[in-house]
Amino acid sequence: MTDPKTLSPLDLDTPDKTFLDSNELVINMGPQHPATHGVLRVILRLDGEKVLGLECVIGYLHRGVEKIAENRTYTMFNPYVDRMDYVAAVSNGLGYCEAVEKLLSVEAPPRAQYIRVILTELNRIASHQLWLGTHALDIGAITPLFYTFRDREEILKIFEKYCGARLTTHAFRIGGLQYEAYEGFEKEVRNFVNFVKPKIDEYEELLTTNRIWLERTKGVGVISGKDCIALGVTGPVLRASGVKWDIRKALPYANYKNFDFEIPTGENGDTYDRYLVRMVEMRQSLRIIEQAVEAIPEGPIMAKVPKVMKPPVGEIYHSIEAPKGELGYFIVSDGSTQPYRIRVRPPSFVNLQALDMMCRGQLVADVIAVIGTLDIVLGEVDR
Amino acid sequence: MNPVTANPPVATPFFFYLLATVMIVGGILVITRKNAVHSAMALITTLLAQAALYLMLYAPFVAGVQIILYAGGIMVLFLFVIMLISIERAAKERQFNRQWLVGIAAATGLGGLLIAVYTTTTKGAVLFPQGNVSYVESQNTQAIAALLFDRMTGTYMFAFEIASLLLLVAIIGAVVMAKKRI
Amino acid sequence: MVAKLKRCYGSGVNALTHLGQNYLEIDHSLIAEILRLLRDEEQFDYCVDVTAVHYPKREKQFDVVWVLYSFARNERIRVKAQIADGASVPSSVPLWATCNWLEREVYDMFGIKFDGHPDMKRILLPDGWKGHPLRKDYGILQQDNEWVQINLGIESGQ
Amino acid sequence: MHDLVQYILSYLDSDKTPGAAGNIFWAVVYVLLVFVGLSIAVIAMNWLERKILAHMQVRLGPMRVGPHGLLQPIADALKLLLKEDIIPDGADKIVFWVAPFIVVLAAFTVFVVVPFGPTHAITDMNIGILFMLGVSSLAVLGIVTAGWASNSHYPLIGALRSSAQMVSYEVAMGLAVVSAVMMTSLSEQGGTLSMIGIVQAQQQQEVWFLFKFFPLGVIAFGIFAIAMVAETNRAPFDLPEAESELTAGFHTEYSGFRWSLFFLAEYSAMIAVSSIAVTLWLGGWLRPFPNALSGSTWDLAFSLIPGLTFLFFAAICFYNTARMPKHPLFKIQTIGLAGFGAVLGLVGLLLFVPAVRVRVNDIFWFSAKVAGFMYLYIWYRGTFPRYRFDQLMKVGWKVLLPTGLALLVCTAVVGMRSEVWANVVVPMWFGLMDLLRRIF
């Protein structure tokens, strides 16, 4: 306990002087490394450049969100969920609000539902764009990053105009919405859809048929659908392995059952398929947005929710399809104003577990590609 | 036009002794350094100085080949191998066996023999004949090619090719040995 | 399914529904058996989450909760078991590989040990940390001052 | 004194390089000119790369230091020189100290034989191309030792990758070069390894070697163009310094001045290999169409292009000066940009002076061709993802090497029976093209 070296499980502070003698080379990647997407630390055991195994060391960004929740009221905790997956804050908010609404047995009015879906899908596109940019950057293509950030900016502008914040939006309230959609919201969203469609083609033009991109991603980090299920991997990773499962279709929440969209699946479960699946997902999200903007009804945006929320005693597990996978909230209420326990089931955390399996036998460069393709956000992994 | 007269060498003795000193110092460092990488660096210095000496002898092609093959190719592989083995341990170990006395004796003997042969034979006959004038400067590369491959004057073709065959055998042997381990 | 479970285990299993969500309350001793049965015979092939809730006033202080999902039935179920402080729970890593990190997190946060887990150590908090922060008796400002001093070289992490 | 002046002036009538003429004064002048020119080129390249890459990526690049960031490279150089020079504790001090100098030395020495014009080279070596390949291969030594001396894992892996990569691609590169050298042997004066001789052979055979024995020349050039990118560790072959994997590869532990030496070496190596490509396949200093568009009118027209180019750049500067925000804060920047434009314009006007024009024309065309390659380098970087190490090796050994060997054999066969090629294969090729054109 008193030895600071307990921090480093493989004792890297005193490198083995004879490491060159053995075939195994232990490399510490992170927590400060350009390609670990935050403060992920990966300890690699290498034979030359081949990965024999790896261990993830996480928790550098642990803020105790679940503990904080127990000391806040339901309303007060709402902004905190944005800080977990800060790339897809709207999705986090949607999951939390819906879970508490279920606990309270209220339902958001239809207009609120539609606006929620529009914002959540916009956020899904933003999250995928950020993923694409950084993933391509990891593999060495620097240009897509700037393209995706340019287009993601338009989404953030819509968020900013809607609720005043760009990243940690706190867009939804328990029971509906606080803000009515601003004037011209629908037009701007429509404009954005038309603006971003050719841009997605542009990304694909840069990468989809690029020989080097194909060589770097095809057959890299392969994981079968069966392994995905065993490891609890969800989201685009699961779908790229051929399992057609999306919570929006399987256990519809919000008003997703009103929309017509496809679930893209891959065949090989490799990095390239995951890339394709996410590209199609972006287009499908645009489809949902288009339908939602057309069908958005008039009406109230807030359900009747008591000022002081005291959900009846009980438990609820509610999950949504976040851009990264199944994001679940397990809430235990003891009848007071504060949740007795909130458990967040973070998709990134569970997906990251598959890293070891996906990287075995691959090369160091593939580890980077696989970390990128898992699309983890360390704020969510560590909470 | 004779290129030698058109472009006379500058300060030949000075450069010769400079390069010779560099070579000897480098050679001594190669065998005295305990760190293998330092030894390799010293060897590279020696080889480069040697290439410079070739240049002084109007043998630019040989100098170029010396740089490409030895300094640029073989020594890189040397360093490659040295880096993959543990240097710290090698540095701690005693160098070879304690036979430096025998070594010095052998070196002195060999050197003495060389000097003796040189002094005795040059008294009467010429040990090193004057170089063929046509081989210098502009035709150096072509002359070597002629010596090796020409139908009329090429006398070393067989030896040259057989040497490359030997290298091929070595490469195949290395591959076979490496494969067995895998 | 419920009837079958009832037949096999009698009073050890209690099937309930709350807000339209099904859950089973099972006895501590039946955890391994029922989880295996749920996976193998009832096709709950996806373990969504493993977590725990602390009730310090109860005799058996902890609720350990498994959230399971079946792709074939498109159905979610929660399994809940009460555990006394200090008692250990059979690990479900052999059933669902995903439980590896999830169980480690439960151990990290609550101090509940899982028997047969391949690598039972802390995951989010540093290895040398004292205390399990999601227990109700662990204050929100509380921290392992000794660890912070030694490893971070500061008096307080606040 | 008079003798010295005579000695200096005597060279001006000579039609040889200072090295070949044995004129030490001019040799020193040329060495300094090349050194200074190279440094300026590296600085300009630094700015251009950042600007061009930025515009490819919908951003502006450096804009603050000087007008349009023109002074950014200078500011960076100053920063690097003033930075603390850190030598890691466990590093092998001597080797760590020497390594960057080996790299720089290798990168700069090759310019001794680069022919900027028939007389504009420091010297003309009999083994010119061999010398260039040999000396540039010494850079590997510096990289390997730098990685090893850092006593750290990432640099070591970077160094191993780098050395394996450079040694492998040197083979393919050499094969491509040999095929070009073979083509020189079809000239009247016979084959040559001299850089100037190779360009003269192209002049004499009235064809750039790129188009010689079409498509053999193009293939050789293609092999070289791929290998040279790998040889200089640039994208998409920039694995030794792959940022996302190895932080910075072999120079991770270097900082300040020593790091800037690596930077300098990388860019001058890029210019060096581009020079080889230009000399071997693109006619070196020869202006476009020296034979088809010959005659004094065309000569005059082409000799005006350097001056016009500089005037064009000056015009761009003035245009941007006019577009500068009219705000007191931008006053200095506006004046600076106008001044820069004025300097470029003056240089352009100077290039119209006949005496200057004649001497500089060759250098301009050579530099323009090299600049084209530099743009390619930037373009690659903006477009391609990075290869993985095994894929890189696969490309080198399984694609480029066999192609190179086959090419060598083909070139030799075709070279021996060049009249057959000229009379049978080329008409057939053009006939096929014509047929295709008619069909589509």
Task: Report A:295-324 residues touching D (Cβ under 8 A).
Answer: none
Own/partner long-range contacts of C138-146 (Cβ < 8 Å, ≥24 apart): C138/A67, C140/A64, C140/A67, C140/A68, C140/A70, C140/A71, C146/A1
Helix (H, G, I), strand (E, B) or coil at B55: helix
D321 within some domain: no
Our CA-based measurement puts residue B87 at a distance from the nearest CA of chain A, in whole angstroms, of 9
Q: Are residues D277 and D401 in the same domain?
A: yes
Instruction: Show which of D30, D61, D82 is a domain's final residue.
Output: D82
B149 within some domain: no
Which pLDDT score, from 0 to 100, does residue D96 have? 86
Taking residues A134-160, report their average pLDDT.
88
B159 within some domain: no
Q: Are residues D207 and D135 in the same domain?
A: yes
D34 within some domain: yes
Lowest mean pLDDT among A12-16, A333-337, C133-137, D155-159: A12-16
What is the total count of domains within chain D? 2
Both tokens of A12, joined, read 């890297």
Neighbours, chain B (3 or more CB pairs < 8 A): A, D
Spatial separation of the C-alpha atoms in residues D274 and D281, rounded to whole Å: 11
Tell me if B84 and A18 make a contact (CB, 8 A cut-off). Answer: no
> Is the pLDDT at A250 greater than 50, yes or no?
yes
Both tokens of D161, joined, read 């990758």
Tell me if B68 and D98 make a contact (CB, 8 A cut-off). Answer: no
Indicate the average pLDDT of chain D: 84
D10 lies within 8 A of chain A by CB: no
Taking residues D125-138, report their average pLDDT.
84
> Please, what's the b/e burial string for C76-105 (b: 16 or more CB within 10 A of its CB; e: otherwise)?
bbbbbbbbeeeeebbbbbebbbbbbbbbbb
Which pLDDT score, from 0 to 100, does residue C135 have? 85
Residue B3: pLDDT band (50, 70, 90) is very low
| Residues in chain C, pLDDT under 70 | 2, 155-158
Which pLDDT score, from 0 to 100, does residue D243 have? 61
**Which chain D residues are Cβ-neighbours of B37 within 8 angstroms?**
92, 95, 145, 148-149
Which pLDDT score, from 0 to 100, does residue B110 have? 93
Look at residues D289, D270, D277 and name the one whose alpha carbon lies nearest to residue D231.
D270
Q: Are residues D53 and D188 in the same domain?
A: no
The domain of B32 spans 3-132
Contact A167, A267 (CB under 8 A): no
Q: Dihedrals φ, ψ of D383, to 5°?
A: -110, -45
pLDDT digits (tens, 9 = 90+) for D323-341: 888 888 888 888 888 888 9
B55 within some domain: yes
**Which chain B residues are Cβ-neighbours of D194 within 8 angstroms?**
none
Both tokens of A340, joined, read 């007795």
Q: How far, rounded to the nearest angstrom, does the alpha carbon of residue B74 sit from its chain's CA centroid?
A: 12
CA angle C27, C30, C34 (to 5 degrees): 115
Residue B6: pLDDT band (50, 70, 90) is very low
Q: Are residues D57 and D22 in the same domain?
A: yes
B114 within some domain: yes
Lowest mean pLDDT among A48-57, A183-192, B132-141, D299-308: B132-141
Q: How far, rounded to the nearest angstrom, does the alpha carbon of residue A49 sit from its chain's CA centroid?
A: 30
Our CA-based measurement puts residue A228 at a distance from the nearest CA of chain C, in whole angstroms, of 9
H or E segment and range at residue D364: helix D354-383
Tell me if B72 and D148 make a contact (CB, 8 A cut-off). Answer: no
Q: Are residues D185 and D65 in the same domain?
A: no
Spatial separation of the C-alpha atoms in residues D149 and D145, rounded to whole Å: 6
Look at residues D373, D345, D353, D361 and name the one whose alpha carbon lies nearest to residue D281.
D373
B166 within some domain: no
Beta bridge partners of C47: C68
Contact C49, A328 (CB under 8 A): yes
Contact C21, C78 (CB under 8 A): yes
Which pLDDT score, from 0 to 100, does residue C129 have? 82
Q: Are residues D76 and D106 in the same domain?
A: no
Contact D11, D19 (CB under 8 A): no
Tell me if A363 and D390 make a contact (CB, 8 A cut-off). Answer: yes
Beta bridge partners of A328: A319, A345
pLDDT digits (tens, 9 = 90+) for D150-202: 877 778 878 888 888 888 888 888 889 988 888 888 877 777 888 888 888 88
Q: Are residues D190 and D234 in the same domain?
A: yes
The domain of D403 spans 85-286+394-439
Instruction: Show which of D82, D104, D136 is a domain's final residue.
Output: D82
Q: How far, rounded to the nearest angstrom, does the alpha carbon of residue D149 sit from its chain's CA centroid?
A: 29
Task: Report C:7-36 residues touching A (Cβ under 8 A).
Answer: 18-19, 21, 23
Q: Are residues D24 and D101 in the same domain?
A: no
Tell me if D141 and B75 make a contact (CB, 8 A cut-off). Answer: yes
> What is the dihedral angle through the alpha carbons of C39, C40, C43, C47, rounded to the nearest 10 degrees?
20
pLDDT digits (tens, 9 = 90+) for A117-136: 999 999 999 999 999 988 88
Both tokens of A21, joined, read 């003698």
Tell me if A215 and D381 make a contact (CB, 8 A cut-off). Answer: no
Residue A16: pLDDT band (50, 70, 90) is very low
Indicate the average pLDDT of chain A: 84
Look at residues A34, A59, A101, A28 and name the one whose alpha carbon lies nearest to residue A346.
A59
What is the total count of domains within chain B? 1
Helix (H, G, I), strand (E, B) or coil at D13: coil
Q: What does pTM read for this prediction? A: 0.81
Q: How far is CA D173 from CA A91, A177, B76, D102, D194, in A?
A: 53, 65, 17, 22, 17
> What is the dihedral angle through the alpha carbons of D78, D80, D83, D84, rounded to the nearest 10 degrees?
-140
Q: Which of the two residues, D211 and D1, has the higher pLDDT score? A: D211
Contact A200, A279 (CB under 8 A): yes
Residue D65: pLDDT band (50, 70, 90) is confident
Q: Which are the contacts of D150, defined by CB distance < 8 A and separation ≥ 6?
A: D88, D91, D96, D156, D250, D252, D253, D254
A18 lies within 8 A of chain B by CB: yes
B176 within some domain: no
Partner residue opposite B41 with nearest CB, options D95, D130, D140: D95
Both tokens of A210, joined, read 């690029």
Which pLDDT score, from 0 to 100, does residue B124 have? 54
Residue B71: closest C-alpha in chain D: D138
Residue D124: pLDDT band (50, 70, 90) is confident
Q: Are residues D230 and D170 in the same domain?
A: yes
H or E segment and range at residue D227: helix D216-231
Both tokens of A312, joined, read 């009846």
What does the DSSP 8-state code read for residue B137? G
Q: Are residues D110 and D186 in the same domain?
A: yes
Tell me if D153 and A215 make a contact (CB, 8 A cut-off). Answer: no
B151 within some domain: no
Spatial separation of the C-alpha atoms in residues B90 and D127, rounded to whole Å: 40
Which pLDDT score, from 0 to 100, does residue D299 have? 81
Q: How far, rounded to the nearest angstrom, does the alpha carbon of residue A251 sit from its chain's CA centroid?
A: 19
pLDDT digits (tens, 9 = 90+) for B11-65: 677 888 888 899 999 988 888 877 778 888 888 889 989 888 888 777 788 888 8
Contact C153, C136 (CB under 8 A): no
Which of A7-16, A46-55, A119-128, D359-368 holds the top average pLDDT? A119-128
Residue B108: pLDDT band (50, 70, 90) is very high
Lowest mean pLDDT among A332-341, B24-33, C136-145, D28-37: C136-145
Which pLDDT score, from 0 to 100, does residue B134 have? 43
Taking residues B100-114, report their average pLDDT.
88
Neighbours of B81 (CB within 10 A): 11
Q: Are residues D237 and D175 in the same domain?
A: yes
D141 within some domain: yes
Taking residues D352-377, report their average pLDDT.
86
> Is the pLDDT at A107 greater than 70, yes or no?
yes
Tell me if D247 and A140 make a contact (CB, 8 A cut-off). Answer: no
D354 within some domain: no
Angle between helices D153-184 and D401-416 (to 10 degrees): 10
Beta bridge partners of A56: A42
Length of chain B: 182
Partner residue opposite C125 with nearest CB, options A59, A70, A229: A59
Q: Which are the contacts of C83, defined by CB distance < 8 A and separation ≥ 6?
A: C28, C52, C60, C61, C62, C63, C64, C89, C112
Contact A10, A26 (CB under 8 A): yes
Contact C32, C99 (CB under 8 A): no
Q: CATH no. for residue B11?
A: 1.20.120.1200
Q: Dihedrals φ, ψ of A66, to 5°?
A: -70, -35
Q: Are residues D78 and D106 in the same domain?
A: no
> What is the dihedral angle through the alpha carbons of A109, A114, A119, A124, rounded to the nearest 10 degrees?
120
A62 lies within 8 A of chain C by CB: yes
> Is the pLDDT at A258 greater than 80, yes or no?
yes
